[in-house]
Amino acid sequence: MRIFEWNETHAVHVPEVDKEHQQLFRLCDDLQRAMMAGAATSEIQSIVDDLVINAAHHFSHEERRMRAADYPLYAWHRRQHHAARSAVRVLERRIRRGDRDAVLELLDFFARWLNDHIRLADRMLGAYLRNHERELAACAS
């Protein structure tokens, strides 16, 4: 069983980003519980929809923050988001056709993604954004 629980090792120390990550963890946990409980397809679909929408908004939000702060690793980071978007899109299509295996694959995908991408790419971004904000504050004072 996958464990979807946000902890300090996932913290990027940018409050809005951490909040969005926590929400993604919560939705994955809800989805896993619903699958284990043998929930109805409509319930599974509604959690999947929420998860996909939240992930899309989250990626766009991070990309906006990167552009606004002239993040030097923007292209590298965005490529990782694009790969995730494509993987999720393919699985989402299968889920919509009633394929329950695809739900498990989606959970596997997010279990890896939430740990690997957040702990490396997002934490690097968090450190950069915090520094950038400190520099802006220093310039303004």
Indicate whether 122 belongs to the interface with Fe ion (CB under 5 A).
Answer: yes
From the CB of 13, what's the least distance to Fe ion, in Å? 13
CB of 66 to Fe ion, least distance (A): 9
Residue 15 in contact with residue 87, Cβ under 8 Å? no
SS3 72: coil
- Min dist. Cβ of residue 48 to Fe ion (A): 19
Considering the complex, what minimum distance in angstroms separates the CB of residue 34 from Fe ion?
23
By beta-carbon proximity to Fe ion, the closer residue of 12 and 102 is: 12
Site size with Fe ion, rule: CB under 5 A: 2
CB of 112 to Fe ion, least distance (A): 14
In 3D space, the residue among 66, 87, 72, 75 whose CA is nearest the CA of residue 129 turns out to be: 66
CA 56 from centre of chain: 8
Residue 56, number of CB atoms within 10 A of its CB:
15
* Cα(31)–Cα(24) distance, integer angstroms: 11
Instruction: Tell which positions 55-74 bind Fe ion, by CB under 5 A.
Output: 62
Of 44 and 125, nearer to Fe ion (C-beta) is: 125
Position 107 contacts Fe ion (CB under 5 A): no
Secondary structure element (H or E) that encloses residue 77, with its range? helix 74-96
Whole-angstrom Cα distance, residue 45 to residue 100? 10
Amino acid present at 33? R
For Fe ion, which residue has the nearest CB?
122
Residue 75 or 138: the one with the smaller Cβ distance to Fe ion is: 75
Give 6 or 32: the residue with its C-beta nearer to Fe ion: 6
Where do contacts with Fe ion occur on this chain (CB under 5 A)?
62, 122
